[in-house]
Amino acid sequence: MSSPMDSALEQARTLFFQGVEHFEAGRLEQARAAFEASLSHAPGRPSVAGNLGITLCHLHRFAEAVPLLELATGADPAYADAWASLGLAQEALGRWPEAVEALEQAIRLSPGQAALQLHKAQCLLRQARVQDALHAFDQCLATAPEFAQAWSARGSLLRELNRLDEAAACFEKALAFGGDAELNGYYLASVRGNAAPSIPPAPPRRYVEGLFDDYASDFQQHVVGQLGYQGYERLLRPLVDAGKTFGRALDLGCGTGLCAPLLRPIAETIDGVDISQAMLEQARRLGIYRELTHADIASYLAVSQEPADLVVAADVFIYVGELAEVFKHVRRLLAPSGRFLFTVEAPEGTQAGQDLQLLPSLRYAHSEPYIRKLAQASGFRVDEIACAPIRHDQGRPVEGLYVYLA
């Protein structure tokens, strides 16, 4: 006759195997429920806790997964799959040192997993351990020489280190091995300079959207505090000081709402548009905007019908590229006595004479002749174009143009 303990263990075993079957069939919620039920009958069992933690990782429930995976790896230090999931969970939670430690354990126990090596490299980068990250990328590519995503990530690091020829070679490898053609083509054009056959007219939307979604939580502290960004204030200050008021102001690429407090005294209503939903959530908390729209600028302007008396784009066109369509639609929407204010980054180096330049920073620069040409073609009057720094980058001022059209 079986004891209650034997019966509980048998139930735990049955539920465990049900969970495995559900997991292998991709039925993650059913697997989670089965593993949780199994663990209730056999608390602390490492194999069950590990499988439940792995399942929760697949469900993106990372905070719940971590203690289960720590229990599993603590009880069984050779549990490679649990170490891998623990590393990925810690990465998702932004715990970079803990992620690296767990991923290293997983790689040691199960060598040759290029994807884990790539995650390790990216976590090292998050800690500004640049040389360690570069070494990790090299280890990853030694394991999987045709891993396009790793070539692209290595190229991005070399681009940031200003090792542009090496970065270009990486992006070419990424393209050759089937990497994302739009993204890697954009990256390649940014480091090719004069050797680039053509400049992409606009960045890939998912690049810009992902960049600012990731950046939203500490955007203002980083850009204003660390980079000394004051371009938005310098752009708007002349209007604020003049005391002129407007009906509707449209803040293109409004981001977290840096312009809003300056616009509030001079505009009856303020609407904003931005490509990043996370940025818009920050702007919404200000309680200043009447309406906030999640869209890229060009698409928004193309369908917009409501007139505006003031259109502002502070440090935005660097992530737009070609501006002809933007100018055309702003002109269509702008009231007869309206104003169009914006900043652009000034071209530099050997390409300074070009109308449009894609820089290794992945930002666009626009020349003054290009701006004047578009203004004339679109029916704008140029009131002023002033040259002054917009922000600092790596300790040096980034020169820009402050443009006032009517």
Bridge-based pairing of strands 396-405 and 334-345 is: antiparallel
Bridge partners of 187? none
* pLDDT tens per residue across span 344-390: 999 976 555 689 999 999 999 999 999 999 999 999 999 999 999 98
Q: What is the pLDDT of residue 5?
A: 54
Amino acid making up residue 302: A
Exposed/middle/buried for 376, CB within 10 Å: 0-12, 13-18, 19+? exposed
Residue listed under structure tokens 């040389």 = 131
| Rounded distance between C-alpha atoms, residue 249 and residue 120, angstroms | 46
Both structure tokens of 1:
């006759």
Which residues fall within 8 angstroms of residue 332, CB to CB, at 6 or more apart? none
Q: Where exactly does CATH 1.25.40.10 map onto the chain?
A: 4-195
| Rounded distance between C-alpha atoms, residue 98 and residue 339, angstroms | 52
* pLDDT tens per residue across span 298-310: 999 999 999 999 9
Question: Is pLDDT above 60 for 4?
Answer: no
Question: Is pLDDT above 70 for 144?
Answer: yes
Question: Is pLDDT above 80 for 229?
Answer: no
| Rounded distance between C-alpha atoms, residue 17 and residue 22, angstroms | 9
State the average pLDDT over residues 59-73.
Answer: 98
* Average model confidence (pLDDT) across the chain: 93
State the average pLDDT over residues 30-49.
Answer: 94
| Rounded distance between C-alpha atoms, residue 380 and residue 385, angstroms | 13
For the chain, report the end-to-end CA distance as a whole number of angstroms: 92
Q: What is the pLDDT of residue 1?
A: 40
Bridge partners of 294? 274
Task: Dihedral sign for Cα 135, 139, 141, 145, please.
Answer: positive
CATH class of 4-195: mainly alpha
Amino acid making up residue 194: N
Q: Where exactly does CATH 3.40.50.150 map onto the chain?
A: 209-405
Q: What is the pTM of this model?
A: 0.90
Question: Are the beta carbons of 326 and 206 closer than 8 angstroms?
Answer: no
| Rounded distance between C-alpha atoms, residue 398 and residue 148, angstroms | 33
Architecture of domain 209-405: 3-Layer(aba) Sandwich (3.40)
Exposed/middle/buried for 14, CB within 10 Å: 0-12, 13-18, 19+? middle
